[in-house]
């Protein structure tokens, strides 16, 4: 082999080697930017075992959450569902893998009126995957997930008090009666916050259950926890008018106090 040919061959080999090193570094950076799935693997085994999950049908269910949340203590999360008589959803669980309490909420769809949208605000403690898993009446599962970059949502200090009565519920129905938003005056303390006035830990205390009745029958039951934001807000929507009247019941985790409101009352 001539010297010039040998030198050219060596340069090509060197270039390939450098390219492989660069690609490996890019891959390593990408992997470092994504949190581990180990938390989800344990959660999946606990709640669903080895059951198969659909992953791609966005027209049936979608999950929207910002990739970089503007407020980790109150990150908006939206679920949308198809009104499909053949695949009726009976339950949806929302998980935030790396939160201290990963199970955010369990929604049981109790009524004949189909819900096509749920909006809420959640706490996100650190870079994590957020997931929604729907279970249909025949037992099949659908999962959607999204990465969210965040820090400190579960330990963020409580907001400044702005008046109102503990447990006060405000219900705002839409003009077409196809949706409503409810807000509950409650600190929803996570147990990881510090009182800025005293420096003492704030014990966990939160809304543990919300029931929405429509037209005298249960429409939605929600078991909720510390990953729901302060002053919990929930919006639900359907593709048809919700039966009237609407009644909201909410339960305090510590005192078991029952808070109630009907329609647009305050």
- In tens, the pLDDT along 38-91 reads 899 999 999 999 999 998 888 999 999 999 999 999 999 999 999 888 889 999
178 is a domain residue: yes
Number of domains, the chain: 1
Distance CA 189, CA 159 (A): 11
What is the overall mean pLDDT for the chain? 87
**Domain range for 80:** 50-262
User: Which contacts (CB < 8 Å, 24+ apart) does range 190-198 have?
Assistant: 190/100, 190/101, 190/123, 190/154, 190/155, 190/226, 190/227, 191/100, 191/226, 192/100, 192/125, 192/154, 192/155, 192/226, 193/154, 193/155, 193/156, 193/157, 193/158, 194/155, 194/157, 195/158, 196/157, 196/158
Domain contains 82? yes
Dihedral in degrees, nearest 10, Cα atoms 95, 96, 98, 99: -100
Question: For residue 96, is it within any domain?
Answer: yes
Residue 19 is assigned to a structural domain of this protein: no
Per-residue pLDDT at 28 exceeds 80: no
Asked, for residue 141, whether it belongs to a domain, the answer is yes
The pTM of this model reads 0.85
Strand (E) positions, 66-187?
75-81, 89-96, 103-109, 117-122, 126-136, 141-151, 169-173, 179-184
Averaged pLDDT for residues 101-114? 94
Closest listed residue to residue 231, CA positions, set 132, 123, 87: 123
CATH of the domain at 154: 2.60.40.2470
Distance CA 223, CA 155 (A): 21
CB 223, CB 209: distance < 8 Å: yes
Name the token pair of 172.
């705002």
Question: Which pLDDT value is given to residue 31?
Answer: 39
Sequence-distant (≥ 6) Cβ neighbours of residue 115 within 8 angstroms? 81, 109, 219, 220, 236, 237, 238
pLDDT in tens, 133-170: 999 989 999 999 999 999 999 999 998 766 679 999 99
Give the per-residue pLDDT at 19: 43
CA–CA dist 83, 60 (Å, integer): 8
Q: What is the DSSP letter of 97?
A: T
Does residue 17 fall inside a structural domain? Answer: no
Question: What confidence score (pLDDT) does residue 110 get?
Answer: 87
Specify the pairing of strand 217-224 against strand 207-214. antiparallel
Q: What Cα–Cα distance (Å) separates residue 108 from each residue in 94, 221, 223? A: 12, 5, 9
Sort strands 258-262 and 141-151 into parallel, antiparallel or unpaired: unpaired
Chain centroid offset of residue 160 CA: 24
For residues 245-254, give the mean pLDDT.
Answer: 97
Query: pLDDT band at 263, cuts 50/70/90?
Result: confident
- Tens digit of pLDDT for each residue in 206-238? 999 999 999 999 999 999 999 999 999 999 999
Pull the structure tokens for residue 31: 């992997």
Q: Is the pLDDT of residue 6 over 70?
A: no
Asked whether residue 100 is assigned to any structural domain, the reply reads: yes
**Alpha-carbon gap, residue 49 to 43, rounded angstroms:** 9
18 domain-assigned = no
What is the percentage of the chain residues whose pLDDT exceeds 90? Answer: 75
């Amino acid at each position: 082999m001539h010297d010039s040919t040998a030198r050219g061959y060596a340069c090509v080999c060197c270039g390939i080697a450098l390219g492989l090193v660069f690609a490996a570094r890019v891959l390593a950076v990408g992997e470092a930017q994504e949190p581990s799935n180990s938390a989800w693997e344990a959660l999946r085994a606990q709640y669903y075992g080895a059951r198969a999950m659909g992953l791609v049908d966005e027209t049936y269910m979608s999950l929207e959450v910002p990739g970089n949340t503007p407020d980790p203590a109150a990150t908006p999360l939206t679920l949308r569902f198809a009104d499909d008589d053949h695949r009726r959803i009976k339950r949806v669980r929302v998980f935030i893998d790396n939160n201290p309490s990963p199970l955010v909420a369990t929604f049981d769809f109790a009524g004949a009126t189909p819900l096509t949208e749920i909006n809420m605000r959640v706490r996100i403690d650190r870079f994590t995957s957020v997931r929604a898993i729907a279970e249909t009446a025949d037992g099949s599962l659908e999962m959607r997930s999204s990465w969210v970059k965040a820090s400190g949502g579960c330990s963020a200090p409580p907001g400044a008090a702005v008046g109102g009565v503990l447990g006060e519920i405000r219900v705002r129905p839409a003009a077409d009666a196809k949706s409503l938003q409810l807000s509950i005056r409650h600190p929803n303390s996570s147990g990881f916050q510090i009182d800025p006035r005293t420096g003492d830990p704030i014990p966990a205390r939160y809304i543990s259950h919300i029931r929405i009745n429509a037209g005298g029958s249960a429409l939605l039951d929600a078991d909720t926890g510390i990953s729901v934001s302060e002053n919990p807000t929930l919006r639900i929507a359907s593709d048809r008018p919700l039966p009237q009247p609407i009644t909201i019941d909410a339960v305090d985790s510590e005192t078991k106090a029952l808070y109630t409101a009907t329609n647009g009352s305050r």
